[in-house]
Every structure is written in C-alpha cells, then in structure tokens.
Amino acid sequence: MNDASTGPEPAHSARLQHLIREVLPANCFYAKKYQDICPADITTLAAFRRLPFTTKAELVADQRSHPPYGTNHTAPLESYTRLHQTSGTTTGKPLCWLDTPGSWAAILDCWHEIFQTLGLTKRDALFFPFSFGPFLGFWSGFEGAVRAGFRVLSGGGMSSTGRLRFLQEHRATVIFATPTYAYHLTEVAAKEGIALAESAVRLIVVAGEPGGNIAATRARIETGWGAKVVDHYGLTEVGPVALEPPSNPGGLEILDEHCFAEVIDPVTLLPTPPGDVGELVLTTLRRTACPLIRYRTGDLVRQSAVVRTITRLDGGILGRADEMFHVRGNNVYPGAIEAVVRRFPEVAEYRITVDQTGPLADLCLEVEPLPDADVQQAVTRIRRAIQDELLFRADVVLAPAGSLPRFEMKAKRLVVKR
Amino acid sequence: MNDASTGPEPAHSARLQHLIREVLPANCFYAKKYQDICPADITTLAAFRRLPFTTKAELVADQRSHPPYGTNHTAPLESYTRLHQTSGTTTGKPLCWLDTPGSWAAILDCWHEIFQTLGLTKRDALFFPFSFGPFLGFWSGFEGAVRAGFRVLSGGGMSSTGRLRFLQEHRATVIFATPTYAYHLTEVAAKEGIALAESAVRLIVVAGEPGGNIAATRARIETGWGAKVVDHYGLTEVGPVALEPPSNPGGLEILDEHCFAEVIDPVTLLPTPPGDVGELVLTTLRRTACPLIRYRTGDLVRQSAVVRTITRLDGGILGRADEMFHVRGNNVYPGAIEAVVRRFPEVAEYRITVDQTGPLADLCLEVEPLPDADVQQAVTRIRRAIQDELLFRADVVLAPAGSLPRFEMKAKRLVVKR
C-alpha cells in the first residue's frame, strides 16, 4: 500500500493490508458495512482513504440492535475475555468493548512502548490513584506495568487523602490521572497540610481530557506536585493512542505501529493539510478482535507540518468537535476558556454554562476561589482577558468555595442548555 | 523430611527443605529470628514443628521498626513488584505485603487450581463486584482469572445497584464476594425489584469471613441468588489457602502444594488432634519472596479426623481465636450467634456488643428487621434460641430498619467494650 501524494509511506502498510484482507471478511459488522467493496481493490492509501468512516453512533446503534455486544467481532464470542465500557459522555449510552487475549496483549505492548519512552526504570513505583471500574485506560496501564515488572501501587477504594498518604508511604515516583484529578489532589494536599512537592513523585502522566496540553493547567499541576507532567491520549475503543515524548514536549506522538492516524475536516470529511486543525481518525492495526476502520474520534488535533517518521499532533488534543459552540459569532472551545481561567492562581475550579435557548448563545463562567484569594479582582480580570483574547463577552460570576464538583474521572465542566 | 508419628508424609517435604535451607538464610527477618537454629538440623517434621512460630504482631513490629516494608525479604527490594495490605482489623495497623513476579505467579497458580476444582469453563463469565483496593484477594482472583483466559468482569467504582444491572447485562455466571456483601446484594436486588434468582449466576465464591460455612447464612445467600455458595479462604500474607470442593462440601481443603498447614492449641501451642478445634498455622511453600514459617493465623479450625491425601478443615473457618469471649461462664464465638440469628428470615442485619467493663461480660444483640416482618415475635424467639442453644441470656433488641452498617469488605459486627 503506497501513495506518495498523501504523505510518507507508512511503516504499517502490511498491517493495513492484513486488516483489510484477513480481518474484515470474518467480521459481521464490517462485512455488511463494506459489502460493496472488494478487499483486493484496496491496494493504495488513496483507495483506503475512500473507505467509509466508522462513527461511534453506528457502533452504539449496532450494540443496541444486537445486544449486548453488537456484531463487530472478528472471533467467536467465547474467545473474548476482557470487557470495558466507554464513559458514555458523548452519546449517553456507554459502548461495550471486548478484547481477546491477543488484542489485550497488543494493548499491553502499547504501554510497554510508553513506559520505554518515559524512561521508567525498576527504581520507579507507579501509582494508579483511581477505582478500577469499567474504563479501559486504568486497567490497561496497570496491567501493562505489571507485565513490564514495575512496582505497581493501586489506589482503588481509597479517599483522596488516603491516596496521598499511601503514595507518600510507598514512595510513588510516577502517577497516572486525569489532569483534573491530578490538580484536585494538590488542593486536597494543601488542605491536609501534606507537602506534595516533597514527595518522591517525579512524573505525572495525564490523560482523559485536555489539560495536559493547556499551559496554565499544566503549570498548576507541575507546581503543586513539584513534578513533570506528560500528556497521554487513548480511547476505550482504540486503546492507548499517543504520548507526549519527554524529549520533544508540546505535542502527542501517535503509536504508529498500533494505529493509523488521519486528520480530516469534520465538515467536508477531506484530509486536512498538516498544520490545520481537524478531526482525528484512527484505524486499529494490532488490536483487531473488534477492529475499527477510519474511526472518527471526535477529537480535534493539528498534525505537525514538520515531516517526521512518527505522526505528531502539535499541542495535543485541542478539543472535541461536538463541544465547539458559537458565542456572538465566535467559534469557541472549552479548552480556550480553560487556558485563560487557569492562569489565575486565585481560581480553584470553574464551570462553563452555554445557554443556546435564545437567538444568540450566552456564556456564563462560574469561578470558585481558593481560600483567602482576592477573587473579586480576579473576576474582573478574567472577564477582561476573555474579552481581549477570545473576542466575546462572558458573564463571569463567583461560585461559593467548595460548591463546584470535583472529578476523579473525566471532568464535566461544560453545561449546554439547548 | 519424614515423621510417621505426626501424620502422613506430606507431598511437599522437598519444598519445606528448600524453604529452610535455601530461602531462610537469605532473609534478614528469619536469619535473625532463627539465628540459633542450624538449617541442616531440620530434617524431620518433628524438628520442623519445634521451630518458633511467626506471629502477626512480630511482623507489624518489624515493619514499624524498619518502615515501610520490614526485613522479611528474600530478594533485593527492587525485585518486588506488587504491594498489598491487610485490612488491619486484628492489629489496627495494616501489614504491607510485597511480592516478586515469581511469588505473584505462585498465587495465580493457586487460583488456577481453584478454578479447576470449581469446574469453571470458557462459557463462564466471572464478576468481581468490589473496588480494587489494597487487598490481595481481589487482585489475585481477578488476575488469576485473566491469566487463565476466562471472561472477567470488574465492578470497581460502581454502586451496588450498578453492579446488579451490570452482572445481568453481561450475564455473569460466577461471583466473588464476602458472604456479607453477597447477602447485601440480595437485599438491594429485592429493593430495586431485580429478579436475582433469574440471572445467569450459578456459583458464588465467598471468602473473607465466616458465613460460607454457617448453614443459615449460606441458605439465605443461595435462596436470594438461586445459586450455589462455595467457601474459600485466604490471607494477604499467605495467599489463597483453601477451597470448599463442590464435590465434597462442608469443609475447606488446603492447597497443600502451596502451604503446609498445622493445627495447634492456641494456649498450649501443641498440635491439636484431628477432630478438635485449634488455631490454623501456615507455612508458605511457593510464595517465598516474603516467606512465613509456622505463621499463626488466629483462625480457628477443626482438622478432619478422616485421613485424606489433602488436609481438610471440617466446617471451614470456625472463628477467630481473638474474637472468643466469655459470657456468664460460656466460651462464645460470633459465628455461633450468627448461626442462630440467620435462621430467622425476618432479620436483615445484626450487631453484637460485648460489654466487658463490669465484673461479668454482657452481650447485647441488635437485630434489624426486614420491611413488613413481624419482628417482635422474632426477637422473643431469638432470645429463647440463644438461651436454649448457647446456654446464656442475651439482650436482644430491635434496631430501626436500615440503621445497621452494611459492608462491601469484611463485616465488623462485633463491638467489644473493654
């Protein structure tokens, strides 16, 4: 599979060929979806790029009409051993996702690569401060670390304070969390008088939401912990997808051996030129028990214009296509607002409410102050900063201390009234 | 190692020899504890039975004076990859317990044996309805099932209702829980109108506390679930120790390949004749990275008088040596009271308070009724049953519906006022 006009020859073309010719014919979902396509015809990248996209809505509908696991299976159902679920934040209904031992091993291989890139050693102790629920990222990271023989520490079924004491006692050096929860732990530590910056933690791997790539958010987490933040990106349906390499920060590098990445314009569905913002589209190359072909992630990225051997997304995940809203003629992403808010050290938490019930959308930003902060002045300055940088006027109001929700999982700071 | 006078030649004498000669000299804790003993002298079971016991208090003191992991390590600390903690119910301070990949693999081997004895097949789906915290049993059972290639379902970070819906949707056939939580789920199902007995669950493996071996408790769980209960026993420090074989119920069979079991009189410390109640003492044979020699578990058992190739404990774990109390001249175990209380279908939950502040201990039993039960009559009948069967008078009082605590982990139904 080669196509010089669409970029460098991918190292994984053999895997793409295998996927199209061997995997898909055995898969009910794709056999039906691509019934008019002859696998033998997909010989070039250009031909591959003409295959219809797969969307989450399609998968949800398939699972709804063939409960509970739908028809996207390459192997007999008895051979699937692992079950995970998506958070259901975008479609309401969580998606169930199955793995065979082989596909699960492919995921653990991704983590092996991630741990190597992070330069972890046997002297590190890896702490996973969350409940081990149905979400794949937690289990896969933990088991990847177990398989790689690192010292692993699980923080399931503990309070945030319990986790902080536990990580101190056991000298954790690396933490895995959402950016929101990593920051929340700094708040809890401050309240409990725990000197987090004096802990052994040297690295915080964040994932699950933007934040790792928002400079002000990252700076807050790094200051609170006295540790370096590294961004990571993955999806339950695809697995671990990308990592911010410590040697070249400021963007995510795709694990190209494991998934084939494209960036498309979410409106025209045509490839986006490197350097432009578009929607990330992924094809699974090794986790093929429930394969995904040209899967629209909904996540907005900017592919690096610098030609590299590895696909690089400058600035990480920029936002979600479905979270963009229009305020007084401007396209706004929640991340742009977070980037402003987090620069103000007085702010502990925030929430964005977009009211689209009127003819023009209104945006209200609630900010919750840290104790003893001069917040009234901050409110005025945040309002001015949004006006200056994002070019629209927002209602900025004070929320009582401790009133806004905190999150262990993906934060939900955007409320849209339709 | 042979000693005809103390019972049949154990199949594991080579492992005992290995432990004494190879493992112990490399271990600071035992090198010091057994400094006056020459390994070459321990050639018979009789000689082994003269080795000093190991107690939990000793281990706690060792970890306290050499924090956080003490000195009971056979390998360099960097080779330990897993960390778990005891619940701290008996000593207050949880014990930290480390494993190397080799010792961890030995634990997963135990589970492999357990799954085989249970007759599980690839058609089974194994549900683990708990938060994956620091306790070993949860992680080892789950990972044992993963390694064995079963379909595994994790219930971390879910409410009890969420777990019930999840196990129905994913057609779980086997559940792992404490007896208390297995019963609590039947209460929740009744409240939510979930027809648990119609679920696919066919087997409930209970552990962590007596209950699986208390006929009335077991009957309640089996009726509520429409499934068979099997008893299991393990310790964080030792690993999975014993299983009630479905082919020969009514007792626990020790995994003799993995641990060497003795039963002693907790006062004289001499071996208890088969058929008499005594304290279970365990020696780890394959999980030797943090070995335990003649470890006093505190758990009371009755070794079967029937000579078998496998060590069998009739009636399972009968209670804890330190939970025995004296009421008006009688030795009483909480399990004996549970066995009476659980026979009354009107009772949802109960709590025992022993007041030892006066010259004679008083026992108060609070019973919480199920909705719509005629409890006043039950209270009278429970009072009479305790008097008739346990030969002492107890205060039996009503607790308001829903007022007594429910437990996901080990239940704490005994309150002792000293």
Of the candidates B239, B250, B231, the one whose C-alpha atom is nearest the C-alpha of residue B135 is B239
Residues β-bridged to residue A99: A82
* Confidence at residue A6, expressed as pLDDT on a 0 to 100 scale: 46
A134–B154: do the CB atoms touch at under 8 Å?
Answer: yes
Among candidate residues A320, A355, A386, the one where a domain is terminated: A320
* Confidence at residue A8, expressed as pLDDT on a 0 to 100 scale: 38
Could you tell me if B31 and B109 lie in one domain? yes
CATH number of residue A254's parent domain: 3.40.50.12780
Has residue A5 got a pLDDT over 70? no
A156–B131: do the CB atoms touch at under 8 Å?
Answer: yes
Q: A141: part of which helix (H) or strand (E)?
A: helix A136-148
Per-residue pLDDT of chain B (418 residues; tens, 9 = 90+): 655 444 434 556 888 988 998 888 899 999 999 999 988 889 888 899 999 999 999 999 999 999 999 999 999 999 999 999 987 766 567 899 999 999 999 999 999 999 999 999 999 999 999 888 888 988 999 999 999 999 999 998 899 999 999 999 999 999 999 998 999 999 999 999 999 999 999 999 999 887 788 888 899 999 999 999 999 999 999 999 999 999 999 999 999 999 999 999 988 999 999 999 899 999 999 999 999 999 999 999 999 998 788 899 998 888 888 777 777 777 788 888 888 888 888 888 899 998 878 777 788 999 998 877 777 888 999 999 988 888 888 899 999 888 888 877 777 888 877 7
Could you tell me if A99 and A232 lie in one domain? yes
CATH number of residue B361's parent domain: 3.30.300.30
Contacts of A170 in chain B (CB under 8 A): 68, 83, 96
Q: A30: part of which helix (H) or strand (E)?
A: helix A28-33
Could you tell me if A122 and A46 lie in one domain? yes
Could you tell me if A373 and A239 lie in one domain? no
- pLDDT tens-digit series, residues A163-213: 999 999 999 999 999 998 999 999 999 999 999 999 999 999 999 887 788
Domain that holds residue A99: 1-320
Could you tell me if B191 and B329 lie in one domain? no
- Mutate which: B83, B132, B139, vs A, most A CBs within 10 A: B132
Q: Among B78, B83, B155, whose Cβ lies nearest the Cβ of A122?
A: B78
Residue B147 is which amino acid?
R
Could you tell me if A205 and A341 lie in one domain? no
- Mutate which: A103, A122, A154, A166, vs B, most B CBs within 10 A: A154
Has residue A408 got a pLDDT over 70? yes
Q: Among B132, B143, B151, whose Cβ lies nearest the Cβ of A80?
A: B151
* Confidence at residue A393, expressed as pLDDT on a 0 to 100 scale: 86
Of the candidates B173, B164, B67, the one whose C-alpha atom is nearest the C-alpha of residue B119 is B173
* Ranges assigned E (strand) in A67-130: 82-85, 96-99, 125-128
Taking the CA of residue B255 as centre, how many other CA atoms within 13 Å lie in the half-sphere pointing to its CB?
A: 28
Q: B80: which residues sit within 8 A by CB, 6+ positions away?
A: A151, B69, B73, B98, B99, B100, B289
B81–A156: do the CB atoms touch at under 8 Å?
Answer: no
Nearest residue of chain B to residue A147 (CA atoms):
B101
Among candidate residues A291, A320, A349, the one where a domain is terminated: A320
- HEC string of B366-401 equals EEEECCCCCHHHHHHHHHHHHHHHHCCCCEEEECCC
* Confidence at residue B13, expressed as pLDDT on a 0 to 100 scale: 80
Could you tell me if B83 and B225 lie in one domain? yes
Q: A199: which residues sit within 8 A by CB, 6+ positions away?
A: A167, A168, A171, A172, A225, A226
Among candidate residues A320, A352, A381, the one where a domain is terminated: A320
Token pair of B358 as six digits: 């006066």
Token pair of B410 as six digits: 């080990």
Token pair of B45 as six digits: 């079971």
Could you tell me if A366 and A285 lie in one domain? no
Contacts of A130 in chain B (CB under 8 A): 157
B152–A80: do the CB atoms touch at under 8 Å?
Answer: no
Q: B257: which residues sit within 8 A by CB, 6+ positions away?
A: B11, B12, B113, B285, B286
Q: Is residue B2, in this structure, part of any structural domain at all?
A: yes
Has residue A84 got a pLDDT over 90? yes
Interface predicted TM-score (ipTM) over 0.95: no
Contacts of B170 in chain A (CB under 8 A): 68, 83, 96
Could you tell me if A306 and A410 lie in one domain? no
Could you tell me if A182 and A282 lie in one domain? yes
Token pair of B400 as six digits: 């308001």
Q: Among A82, A122, A157, whose Cβ lies nearest the Cβ of B133?
A: A157
What DSSP letter does each residue of A317-367 carry, written as one string? --EEGGG-EEETTEEE-HHHHHHHHTT-TTEEEEEEEEE-SSSS-EEEEEE
Please provide the average confidence, as pLDDT, over all residues in chain A. 89
Residues β-bridged to residue B325: B332
With beta carbons less than 8 A apart as the criterion, state whether B242 and B255 touch. yes
Q: How many other C-beta atoms lie within 10 A of the C-beta of residue B190? A: 15
Token pair of B306 as six digits: 């029937």
Could you tell me if B25 and B135 lie in one domain? yes
Domain count, chain B: 2
* Confidence at residue A374, expressed as pLDDT on a 0 to 100 scale: 77
A324 compared with A36, residue with greater pLDDT: A36
* Percent above pLDDT 90 for chain A: 60
Weakest mean pLDDT among A41-55, A114-128, A360-374: A360-374
Q: How many other C-beta atoms lie within 10 A of the C-beta of residue B402? A: 11
Spatial separation of the C-alpha atoms in residues B295 and B318, rounded to whole Å: 18
* Confidence at residue A358, expressed as pLDDT on a 0 to 100 scale: 77
Weakest mean pLDDT among A5-19, A43-57, A133-147, A404-418: A5-19
Could you tell me if A316 and A338 lie in one domain? no
- HEC string of B71-140 equals CCCCCCHHHCCEEEECCCCCCCCCCEEEECHHHHHHHHHHHHHHHHHHCCCCCCEEEECCCCCCCHHHHH
B133–A78: do the CB atoms touch at under 8 Å?
Answer: no
Q: Is residue B35, in this structure, part of any structural domain at all?
A: yes
Residue B87, min C-alpha distance to chain A (Å): 12
